[in-house]
Structure 1
Amino acid sequence: MSLISILILAIGLSMDAFAASICQGLQIKDNNIKNTLSIGLCFGIFQALMPIIGYFLASSFANSIKAIDHWVAFILLFIIGFQMIRESKDASCEISQGLSLKSLFSLGIATSIDAMAVGVSFAFLNVNIFSSSTIIGITTFILSSIAFKIGNKLGMKSKQISELIGGVILILLRTKILIEHLFLQ
């Protein structure tokens, strides 16, 4: 998987965290640097750790399904992408008021489940999990920090657009990888 593909994937994966950060920005009036960095770090760390967890879980059984690994990876990312597109129609911010450690932790886990599934698919691809996860984490940190600031200014429409874009990116990237695997090897 090329660096460009990893960056595109990182942007797609960060869209859940981006949308949640927008919601936090809508609800928390104090957009100071501490809140901005807390949100960015929380989402960035979870998005970096979850692919590693998924990768090592899947690596334990990767050899037994090697013949269909590209289909497993395709189906996982397609489902995640489709789910993100479907969630883009939901205009609500189901996030608690205030910025507490508990709510940040819950949001970090909830927005990074997709990243764990991507880590599972990475086990079947030629991917350096640590550099890829670092790129995903840094990308999510940057985009989540920006989204928190944007939240107060743009409102709910930006949440819907970010979910839709993230889903489309994941589906297109997975389709590209499947085509390369089936026809270019």
Structure 2
Amino acid sequence: MEILTNFLIGVSLSMDAFSISVIAGSLIDRKKLFNSFKISFSFGFFQFIMPIFGWFTGIRFLKYIYKFDHIVAFLILFIVGAKLIYESRKIEKTIDFNKKII
């Protein structure tokens, strides 16, 4: 991969981590510092390990799907897009934003 591609992947992962940390930070009880450490450590760990896991898995499956990998990518994106459209049309219940998670 090019350096620019790696940089953009890093920026997108950090933006994802930042948005989750802002949301989780607004819902965590401030008196429980250990809970915030657990959440931040687990999220950071999975942000680190999932691209590596995906790379190793992709290398293992490359010999099986290299002839039709573009079709697999299309189907995955199509299913995710169809699910997003379907869920946007459903009637939702109201969300209580005052409820604390932890």
Match of 1:12 in 2: 12
* Cα distance in 2, alignment partners of residues 20 and 52 from structure 1: 21
Q: If the length of structure 2 is used for normalisation, what is the TM-score?
A: 0.53
* Cα distance in 1, alignment partners of residues 31 and 2 from structure 2: 36
Change (3 A) 1:20 1:67: same
Deviations 1:5-34 (A, max 9, x none): 122123323444333222211122528976
Match of 2:46 in 1: 46
Match of 1:27 in 2: 27
Q: How many residues align?
A: 91
User: Is this contact kept in 1: 2:28–2:101, CA < 8 A?
Assistant: yes
Amino acid of the structure 1 residue aligned with 2:51: P
1:97 counterpart = 2:90 = no
* Cα distance in 2, alignment partners of residues 10 and 27 from structure 1: 26
Amino acid of the structure 2 residue aligned with 1:4: L
| Identity rate, percent | 28
Change (3 A) 1:42 1:56: same
Structure with the bigger percentage of helix? 1
Rg larger for: 2
Change (3 A) 1:52 1:32: same
Match of 2:61 in 1: 61
Amino acid of the structure 2 residue aligned with 1:45: F
Gapped regions of structure 2 (runs ≥ 5) = 89-94
Q: If the length of structure 1 is used for normalisation, what is the TM-score?
A: 0.34
Q: Any idea what SS the aligned residue of 1:12 has?
A: helix
* Cα distance in 2, alignment partners of residues 4 and 76 from structure 1: 27
Q: Any idea what SS the aligned residue of 1:67 has?
A: coil
Gapped regions of structure 1 (runs ≥ 5) = 99-185
Q: Any idea what SS the aligned residue of 1:5 has?
A: helix
